[in-house]
Structure 1
């Protein structure tokens, strides 16, 4: 295969530019960026120096943690939020710790299994979007400081590009338009972009699965797969703190590199944080009658489990120890001796088990959904990336359990935890993925002509309406987009159906399988000249205009355009998603 740099295209812009990828993770976050020079292949840089961890050379991730005071003002973030002096001040002054805040943005249809634990309270006068925006602002400031301090003439560089910086925000595969809208609003709140159409257009979105794919390409992983276009697919499994994001792809060309998504991407809440949650629930019961069973002690022991035992665990037959205290800490009744808590390997394996089962089930589903592209006749590849990928136990268990499916699991030697941030820059620059699969069905409500012989129609008879043209119609039918009668403001809801592969005939507004994806809204008054008069029932005149709304689902965020007939010509107008859960615009 060609070296990674050979798969990349030179920047086609006319002036120097800067693109920043912000990977806000559930537990850890990172930033990558590229200075775009006209005619040159972009080089990806990582922010490797953050406040509070300057002593750790090359560390590219910081904890996704903040502290707020009682007034709701942020006082510390990232590595600084875990500094001993900050922790002491937080306790003395009653600060609120904001963590796992990314999970608050999740779609309502994605349920959390927290083992009885709840997400902590939000800071005073703050919404989940505000908190996310505060952390984006912190990452952005860290990035500015890093670039100005690291690059030659860094301050002049920043001054030249700061008003048109392009941003790429990554999110789990399961996030949808509503979550992208919240993230865009957070970027405005955090001061990354102005609250204008031009400002919002500087935000791009990419799923963590697709970003991880681009990172794998950049790192030259699985060169045999990338250099051999065939019907055989491969999977990218991004195992992070909160989610496991599984995506399936196939190579369609190598010069240039062209990759297609071959199954709807999957996303499950089974990341490493849930291993820790299960461990804490177990420890709470185990230490219930011990002096080490207090909430503060449990928090400390669980944190030490995260930092040591969870990361090193590799054999369920070996005894495991959580080093959390001094040699004087002892309670033999619960297995504590010399400041260490003893657990069996089987107990620790149980903390991991639901996450491993979810990953295996998701990969099986991807193989089935690929409709034979990822087949079991030859060994297929799963590229395991993300912070959780560093777990020896997760890696070995996936290898063992997927071997009967003739699926080989591999992970890069390079640092996998920064794959999403690097890959997001690769996505912005290279766009290797040429086709994507929709996970759900999308449609709109329309009026269906009443059929007295259809029992479902008869059951809805009380909702019949009659248009000027005469037909008796029923609302709530599920179908493709059709025009409405008003010419002032056109508005239509795009509905999402998650109930399977059979197209539903009706919209069940209270059912969990249905939800509103977004609203498409446009001022159609300039089209009035194209309206045609018609004679309706009882001789009444009504007006019609032929137009359609087209939604482009092939990108990482939705685009739409409206088409209408004027003097026998089809005219088009493209408009984009805004920060108000809608796709909106005005015809020029």
Structure 2
């Protein structure tokens, strides 16, 4: 058993009262020793205490070597403060010696549950480093000394010396946890709806009463998730900067610096941009590090793989886990996400080289979701909604896995997480995991589970709580193995030999045992390095040291300006300036509104094509002009107060790109037809996608409509003028194209070879089937011949008998027929004579009648033809008139049908637009923005003056507009809008709470009373001296 067989695979232990053992902790004989315990609040020391030298893990050998080199170290690094601060940092000789000619690498791993930082000093020309050279920051809050610190933050005012972040919180703190999950859209509609409900719980359903009672400073922060992350990262930077503060600042600031930021393998641009902005704005930027060379973003599995492989090779060489050409799966199981990637070992000597095989896969099924399963079980199966609400208020209808956690639930979760970390699945049948419930449940007893307020779970109960997350992880691993072996089996890729488990959840013995059991049939072994919890962090540092290794990383830059697209947008009448009523649609439109698609400081990738899509709608009637222009503007000022519309001759905006769009050649029959109540005639609408692609150093525009490019990439503009690497990028792109071409040719040859082998195999099988069929046919033919012979013998006997009988009967019939024929001939002769005489008489009479009838018919026919000709002429005239009438009716019906279908399609598209995770994330952003604006309006409104009233007015108009948008979105929801019953159940709660009364309409409910003017009438605050500082709150 590894000496590091312990775990804290989510932030709950630190939040609920536990500290996690570091990767360098001592060996334990327990199956799963688990973390040390301490009790919140964590404030045994003040937040201003210095970070000691124990902040970073360091071996005994390093300690001895550093002491031996202390005199050289002090001379070379010139750490003037080391001696004076020895009481704060301990013996200065424990610090790493830095000299000129070195560079600094900082690795940052911001996780759902924990965050870590690693620092390493290496020579500028050095491409590798010892694993022991990587220093992991370990002292964070007061006495919390672990490799990572909980990703948690609180805006609740501290009671004493609590720091309200990481692992130091007051007992009444409302703690923001799992904020990383809010940076990106959730994987499902239910997940997003659940997060919206969680936000509404904290925001008290946007109630104006809550705004007043909180005085604009609520415990549940109005800040958006990215700003919460920023505040948290500022605390991280403070600790890093304090550690670096012991070095000679002039020397430190002269060193080149590289910063590596890790992220999940499946992570949207929006989430990556939010993380990047938080890290850089917190202090990890060129202002603090003048010689900052690169900020790189790296997928977590990439970082974990290189470190884990090196660790197993160097620290556990006797196990020979990885050899040349071996293929292994890396499973990075953390608190929020689980990433699974396959790698192949290209070389082991002189240095380790890895190659990624296939595509990575990721799911949000980390250990925090086990906590959600536990809470659901408590509410639905054990306590019931009413008693459960005593633990977690406002949770009768749903569990709150995100955002915040209260004191009572923290106490329960503290014990649960301890058991979760130690659970192996091999416990004895009579073993019980005990959890003490709060005082309200002291007398509660439930058969088999609760005894006088003491909750008891057995092994099967724990397995059920783990089941969903573990099953999803196993499915990820199996899918990865199947895809790799299916796609690459004919390319000489060796079978998958092992699975490397890293991350906090990866330390779970139960998870390892389940994966081992599932994969044993394929002879795949499971391995976990002792430092698996910080493998991503340490691997990121290795990537920063060896730049030649960086093949799949993303180098970043910051955009120096703001860029927006101008368009007319539909608005509520009177909601803004520069409005007009569209003569085509009859709707009120805001003219030249700006949609900001790039903000100054946003993440700009090098050597990576990022396309930002913006949807634009163009409307026109049949005889209207069908040529349009899309304008892109650059904001010239450096502040973040962005204009909302284009004003004539505005010196702050520069039109940098005009894109001509034409629909003149489009057949109107292929377009959807619309007709609104305010429109005089039907109109057509085309919705195009504008892609602004940042490639290398320029912005390229492409417009796509109906899956066709209608504006090719012909216009470019310099966006990042200060970057001058175009030629190098072009050569690099050319090499990539050549490599892709070569790979395509090789793949084509292999595909042809596989086709030939498959054709040969099919031909061989066809020959065997034909031979078998011939043998069977021969046997059947012999059987048929014998049967035919027997039938022939019977037939001949029957034929002889029948012939004799037929001969006798024929003779008798022949004699009778002769007699009969003679009689017939006599009678026929007599009848023939009579008929001849009668026919002669009738012929004379018939000729006479026919002559008379022909004369009469001729006269009648002449009269009838004349009548019919007149009727036909009249009917033709009538038919032409009827056809013209019906054609007009059909045209009207077709237009109405098209309009109806277009309206149904628009409604359907509108519902689909608002009922997917990404759209619901945008709704969540709107709710958060309304909450933030209400708090800001309150703080400004209680001390409004004539000078700041305009600002408040604008904020109120914006807040009302957002509320109207929110309501219009949810009002369109119905049961048919959602695929699952549970989705509609959650959506109905969101709809009910957002449409409930109690939300202030600022246009009619001002935050100040009207003031009497000089005439004694109630007037507004504008004009007049001594504008009152009065409030209607």
Query: Under TM normalisation by the shorter chain, which class is it?
Result: 0.5 to 0.7
| Structure 1 unaligned residues grouped into runs of 5+ | 1-12, 149-153, 464-473, 484-488, 496-503, 509-519, 527-547, 556-588
Please name the residue that 2:450 is paired with.
336
Scaled by the length of structure 2, the TM-score of the pair is 0.39
**Which residue of structure 2 aligns with residue 315 of structure 1?**
426
Q: Give the conservation status (yes or no) of the 8 Å contact 2:327–2:495.
A: no
CA–CA distance in 2 between the matches of 1:553 and 1:324? 65
Residues 185 and 259 (structure 1 numbering): CA distance in 2 closer, same or farther, change over 3 Å?
same
Counterpart of 1:348 in structure 2 is: 462
Look up the SS of the partner of 2:284 in the other structure.
coil
Q: 1:227 matched to which residue of 2?
A: 323
SS for the counterpart of 2:418 is helix
Cα offset for 1:351?
Answer: 1.4
1:23–1:170 CA contact under 8 A, matched in 2: yes
Q: TM-score, normalised by structure 1?
A: 0.65
Q: Structure 2 vs 1, CA of residues 237 and 458 (structure 1 numbering), >3 Å: closer, same or farther?
A: farther
Give the structure 1 partner of residue 785 of structure 2: none
Residues 552/161 of structure 1: CA separation in 2 closer, same or farther (3 Å cut) = farther
Conserved 8 A contact 2:102-2:122: yes
C-alpha separation in 1, matches of 2:189 and 2:291: 33
Match of 1:246 among 330, 340, 351: 340
CA contact (8 A) 1:147 1:158 kept: no
Query: Secondary structure of the equivalent of 1:77?
Result: coil
CA distance in 1 between partners of 2:735 and 2:497 (Å): 26
Contact 2:257 2:293 in 1 (8 A): no
Computed over aligned residues only, the root mean square deviation of the Cα atoms, in angstroms, reads 4.8
Provide the rounded CA distance (Å) in 2 between the counterparts of 1:308 and 1:554. 54
Report the structure, 1 or 2, having the larger helix content. Answer: 2
**Which residue of structure 2 aligns with residue 584 of structure 1?**
none
Match of 1:45 in 2: 135
The residue aligned with 2:718 is 523
Correspondent of 2:147 among 48, 55, 60: 60
Q: Give the Cα–Cα distance (whole angstroms) in 2 for the partners of residues 494 and 308 of structure 1.
A: 56
8 Å Cα contact 1:275-1:351 kept in structure 2 = yes
Is 1:492 aligned to residue 701 of structure 2? yes
Counterpart in the other structure of 1:5: none
Residue 302 of structure 2 is aligned to residue 189 of structure 1: no
Cα displacement (A) at 1:477: 9.8
Listed as ranges, the gaps of 5+ residues in structure 2 are 1-98, 204-219, 393-406, 555-607, 614-658, 673-685, 710-714, 722-728, 737-1033
* 8 Å Cα contact 1:379-1:408 kept in structure 2: no
CA distance in 1, matches of 2:544, 2:243: 21
**Which of these residues, 383, 387, 397, is aligned with residue 287 of structure 1?**
383
- Whether the 8 Å CA contact 1:329–1:336 is kept in 2: the answer is no
Partner of 1:133: 230
Q: Deviations over 1:498-544 (max 9, x none)?
A: xxxxxx99389xxxxxxxxxxx97339x9xxxxxxxxxxxxxxxxxx
Distance 1:53 1:313, change over 3 A: farther
Match of 2:541 among 405, 425, 429: 425
1:10-21 residue pairs with structure 2 within 5 A?
15-21=101-107
Matches within 5 A, 1:413-492: 414-430=530-546, 461-462=670-671, 490-492=699-701
User: Does the 8 Å CA contact 1:137/1:192 hold for their aligned counterparts?
Assistant: no
Deviations 1:535-584 (A, max 9, x none): xxxxxxxxxxxxx99996999xxxxxxxxxxxxxxxxxxxxxxxxxxxxx
**Residue 382 of structure 1 aligns to a residue in which SS?**
strand
SS at 2:512 equivalent? helix
Report which stretch shifted further, 375-384 or 23-32.
Answer: 375-384
Per-residue deviation, 1:110 = 6.6
Query: How many residues were matched structurally?
Result: 459
Q: Distance in 1 between matches of 2:177 and 2:345?
A: 39
- For residues 443 and 136 of structure 1, do their structure 2 counterparts lie closer, same or farther at Cα, with a shift above 3 Å needed? closer
The CA distance in 1 between the partners of 2:188 and 2:273, in whole Å, is 17
Describe how 1:544-559 pairs up with structure 2 within 5 A. none
2: distance between equivalents of 1:493 and 1:313? 55
Q: Which moved more, 1:40-49 or 1:235-244?
A: 40-49
Aligned pair partner of 1:261 in 344, 352, 356: 356
SS of residue paired to 2:270 = helix
* Structure-1 residue corresponding to 2:111: 25
Shift of 1:275: 0.6
**Pairwise mapping of residues 182-221 of structure 1 onto structure 2 (< 5 A)?**
182-194=274-286, 202-221=294-313
Cα deviation, 1:388-437, whole Å, max 9, x if unaligned, reads: 1121111111111122233322212x132111111110121236867659
1:346 and 1:480, CA in 2 relative to 1: closer, same or farther beyond 3 A? same
Q: Which structure features the higher share of strand residues?
A: 1
For residues 18-54 of structure 1, give each alpha carbon's deviation from its aligned partner in whole angstroms, at most 9, with x where no partner exists. Answer: 2111111111222111012345544211112122325
Determine whether 1:394 maps to 2:508. Answer: no
Residue in structure 2 matching 1:76, options 164, 180, 184 = 164
Deviations 1:450-505 (A, max 9, x none): 9x9xxxx9899549xxxxxxxxxx9979999999xxxxx8533699xxxxxxxx99
Deviation, structure 1 residue 158:
8.0
Query: 1:235: Cα distance to partner?
Result: 0.9
Q: Distance in 2 between matches of 1:553 and 1:257?
A: 28
CA displacement at 1:329 relative to structure 2: 4.2
The match for 2:707 among 482, 498, 506 is 506
Relative to structure 1, the CA distance from residue 113 to residue 194 in structure 2 (aligned partners, 3 Å threshold; closer, same or farther) is: same
Whole-Å Cα distance in 1 between the matches of residues 423 and 250 of structure 2? 41
User: Which SS does the other structure have where 1:52 is aligned?
Assistant: coil
Q: Tell me how far 1:356 sits from its aligned partner.
A: 1.2
Residue 240 of structure 2 aligns to a residue whose secondary structure is: helix
Is the aligned partner of 1:167 residue 2:253? no
Matches within 5 A, 1:84-103: 86-87=170-171, 91=172, 96-103=174-181
C-alpha deviation, 1:210, in angstroms = 1.0
Inter-partner Cα distance in structure 2 for 1:437 and 1:49: 29
Instruction: Decide which moves more: 298-307 or 414-423.
Output: 298-307
1:409 alignment partner in structure 2:
526
Instruction: Specify the alignment match of 1:273 in structure 2.
Output: 368
Q: Which moved more, 1:108-117 or 1:317-326?
A: 108-117
**SS of aligned partner of 2:175:** strand
SS at match of 1:141: helix
